[in-house]
Amino acid sequence: MDKKLFTAALTKYALGVVLVALILFVPAGTLRWWQGWLFMAILFVPMFVAGLVMMAKAPDLLRKRLDAKEDEQEQRTVVALSALMFLAAFVVAGLTVRFGWPLFPAWVSWVGAVLFLAAYALYAEVLRENAYLSRTIEVQEGQHVVDTGLYGIVRHPMYSTTLLLFLSMPVVLGSPFSCVIMLAYLPIIAKRILNEEEVLAAGLEGYPEYMTRVRWRLIPHVW
């Protein structure tokens, strides 16, 4: 086992748990918020398991996933906007609890949790299909076009799954206002995809042909 990689992954995971807990429960002003705990569970338990699996079977992929430094200025802007969106959505969800603003019925949060876990499963499948997935936009040495499985349906199945993941988050938390905020992900991810396709088409052999074979970027028959 790569002890350095394990330490880096565990540290980043622990910081993520603490950060999300603070962003959620400090604005809520209470720990007695079951939707908040439900969200923490479905977010971080599968993440921990996935991290262990990647550590054992695909350490190079895990290393890529931990590297979040973008070289493209346009993508740094996208990352910053995404961070602001998450911060606003989570804080507003907490404030919804603190001030007694309208919440979804309990069953809606459970439906959101099912959708979130389903998206997590699809995300794992995308990682299995494409070993070149990093968190930054780049063309890696030896990379080739992946066009099977989910990549034969849409060009960016990872973003399709994150769309479902992110839009289900405020549903799990029970906050209608946070749902509105998270809709900002649609133009954000569209901007990222268009820039990514420019990079891949210019630097990855066979990608322009792949774009003609697979018409849809994110959602079949929509875009």
- Tokens 């989570």 correspond to 90
pLDDT tens per residue across span 90-139: 999 999 999 999 999 999 999 999 999 999 999 888 888 876 665 555 55
In a domain, 151, yes or no: yes
- In a domain, residue 223? The reply is no
161 in a structural domain: yes
> Quick check: is 104 in a domain?
yes
Query: Would 43 be classed as within a structural domain?
Result: yes
Q: Report the alpha-carbon distance of residue 58 to residue 53 in Å, rounded.
A: 7
- Structurally, the chain folds into a number of domains equal to 1
Which CATH number fits the domain that encloses residue 74? Answer: 1.20.120.1630
Residue in this structure with the two tokens 């996935």, named with its chain if needed: 50
pLDDT in tens, 34-81: 999 999 999 999 999 888 888 888 787 777 777 666 556 667 788 888
C-beta contacts of 56-64 below 8 A and 24+ residues apart: 58/127, 58/131, 59/2, 59/5, 60/131, 61/127, 61/131, 61/133, 62/5, 62/9, 63/5, 64/132, 64/133, 64/134, 64/135
**Is 222 domain-assigned?**
no
Helices (H), 58-184: 59-66, 73-99, 106-129, 157-173, 176-182
Instruction: Please report whether residue 70 resides in a domain.
Output: yes
Share of the chain above pLDDT 70, in %: 90
What is the domain extent for residue 72? Answer: 3-213
Residue 87 inside a domain? The answer is yes
H-helix or E-strand spanning residue 188: helix 185-203
